[in-house]
Structure 1
Amino acid sequence: MNTHRTIELIAPSGYPQDPEAVHRALARLHAEGHRVEGIQATERRYQRFAGTDGQRAAELNRLADPSRDLPDIVLAVRGGYGAVRILHGLDYDGLQRRLADQPVAFCGHSDFTAIQLALFARAGLTTFGGPMLVSDFGAEALSSFTMHHFWDTLSKPDFTLKVNAPQAQAVDVSGTLWGGNLAVLTSLIGTPYLPPVQGGILFVEDVNEQPFRIERMIYQLHLSGILAQQQALVLGDFSGGKPYESDNGYDLKEMVEQVRSVIGIPVITGLPFGHIPDMVTLPVGALAQLHATAHGFELAVSGYPHLG
């Protein structure tokens, strides 16, 4: 049984389109004894967003208020689109003062990547790429793998992920673990919201993107000089983007071989992270060691806020 936690919901992007998923998620969390706050975040609607830009920014900024008790977990309701519209309105100084030394776990993925990278770049806050309320806690079939890794990661100061996916390159590097959704990450290039990580281990994922589009975004990271500053590129899941008939055999595997031949750093494949039922939880901004062989890879992670 997990320790009972206080979970505050935020919806910085789209609104939940499946009310039943929200109900399932809340019922499961309440059944485990957790206290869920901010449920109104699941009810707001403004065009395609979960509230106006001002409402969604204020939802995050209230966490900087020293008069409020902090939750254990800040959980994104869902992704979609919209987080980039509120980046300029966040109180980074206030959030840093309030949260820098507090074991509060921000968690989400997909469009939430924009919030995570901005908090890391502007406030030095480490967050978690992991499950969200609707798609994961509210899934019709709850993934025991996802839930175990989420709660296990948040409850201790370090973990080692072992993946039995054969690798084409032997790798033994260490650095800052960072990344998230590839399309969101590349959209922040040239802005003050992309952290200037040197010697990092960059992980990326995406959904419904064809191989050539994935390659184009990786090339953008390469040509802008960002990949040259990293120790390794770790690829998560890229489901949903089927090649076109006109691609003439050019698929995800061919794409990986192409970028591997030009970017100048190791490319690791098979990370169970992304828009998939069984996903790991990864701290964005933590310290990591990556060891890969022909038999698979290990990712040892430490130095992130944990709930104990």
Structure 2
Amino acid sequence: MAHIYVYSPSGAVRDKAAFRRGVKRLQALGHEVEVDPDALASWQRFAGDDATRLAAIGRAAASGADAALTTRGGYGLTRLLPALPYKAIARASGKGTKFIGFSDFTVLQLALLAQGGGVTWAGPALCEGFGARSADDAAEGHGGAAGATSPDEIMLACFQDLLDGSSEGTGWRLPAADAAALAGRRDLHLAHHAPLWGGNLAMLASMLGTLWWPAVEGGVLFLEDVGEHPYRIERMLAQLLHAGVLARQKAILLGQFTEYRLTPHDRGYSMAKVVDWLRSQLKVPVLTGLPFGHVPTKVLLPVGARIDLLVEGREALVLWGHLH
């Protein structure tokens, strides 16, 4: 059984049913769930005003929990950057608290990395990850069966592996286009003991040039986003490209880019074309299909950890077993 501290550092929780489902599911898995007193606070679009959310982050760092889990993303951490309790978070991480989140949480993760803080984990939030509606919820009158999604089994397994200390890596099957882009080469060791970093592309691009930008070189950069048309994705990638960020990495891993709509104006322009363009601009390998992003099937990734990246045939492997 793990002690999980649930708190809200970003957007206000609007879906209270998902919040309750998430807490109950974690408890059903045998975990002790401690809910921050301001987890359901609301001020404008945020989970409380800036001071309220800073206090919640401080309580999460002081909780002594095995995992500190955000309720959701949204927006809010960017405005807290100058005042975040970096030393307290780093101390808590060093003592074993695993800070887990994604989307807006990318801001805290990268800023902590820039400050030389400990490893944090890119992974699910409470509401979207554990609060997904199931068939049982629908049967009890909490929503239609068509909306039944249930927490993803792969995500749950990765989360449990992290909590019990058996998380050593992840892998996925590369699309055929990736194999072709690697010029048919097989069994490649693309990165050895390289820092893994990244997260939400929009959040990452917004931090470029600030005091909280982690100037990682020789790393493995992973990226995802939601609700951004491919041309906007390309524009943000171009910003990182022209700033020299991408060329200084060992590899770029593209996760899931979802919930956008192409129009007749695009005339064949798509996310696949963005990837083709990016590869034409870089010598650095660009791998796609990473199971991470605003999707149910989501692995957990150690931001700031040293990892190995291997390609064996069409299987990509990210390994961090040495952390244990």
Aligned: 1:240 with 2:259 = yes
> Would the aligned equivalents of 1:22 and 1:42 in 2 still touch at CA under 8 Å?
no
Give 1:276 deviation, angstroms.
Answer: 0.4
Q: Deviations over 1:55-102 (max 9, x none)?
A: 11121123555xxx5111000110011111111111223433x32531
Q: In structure 2, what is the Cα distance between the partners aligned to 1:201 and 1:16?
A: 32
RMSD: 1.7
Length-normalised TM-score, structure 2: 0.87
Question: What is the letter of the counterpart of residue 264 of structure 1?
Answer: K
Q: Which runs of 4+ in 1 moved over 4 A?
A: none
From the superposition, tell whether residues 134 and 214 of structure 1 become closer, same or farther in structure 2 (CA, over 3 Å).
Answer: same
Query: Aligned residue for 1:14?
Result: 11
C-alpha distance in 2, partners of 1:303/1:60? Answer: 29
Q: CA deviation at 1:293?
A: 5.3
Taking the TM superposition and a 5 Å limit, the aligned residue runs for 1:1-308 are 4-63=1-60, 65=62, 69-96=63-90, 98-99=91-92, 101-140=94-133, 141-156=150-165, 158-166=167-175, 167=178, 168-169=181-182, 170=185, 171-174=188-191, 175-292=194-311, 295-304=314-323
The residue type equivalent to 2:272 in the other structure is K
SS in 2 for 1:250: coil
Tell me if structure 2 keeps the 8 A contact 1:179–1:284.
yes
> Tell me, what secondary structure is at the counterpart of 2:42?
coil
CA distance in structure 2 between the aligned counterparts of 1:14 and 1:266, rounded to whole angstroms: 35
What is the distance in 2 between the residues matched to 1:53 and 1:303?
37
How far apart are the structure 2 equivalents of 1:33 and 1:208?
35
The AA in structure 1 aligned to 2:34 is E
Structure 2 unpaired stretches of 5+? 134-149
For 2:294 and 2:6, locate their aligned partners in 1 and report how far apart those are by CA, in whole Å. 20
- Evaluate the alpha carbon distance shift between residue 220 and residue 154 of structure 1 in structure 2; reply closer, same or farther with a 3 A threshold: farther
| Matches of 1:247 and 1:218, distance apart in 2 | 18
Percent identity of equivalent pairs = 41
> Match for residue 141 of structure 2?
none
SS class of match (2:253): strand
- Deviation readout 1:36-61 (Å, 9 max, x if unpaired): 22343332000000000111112112
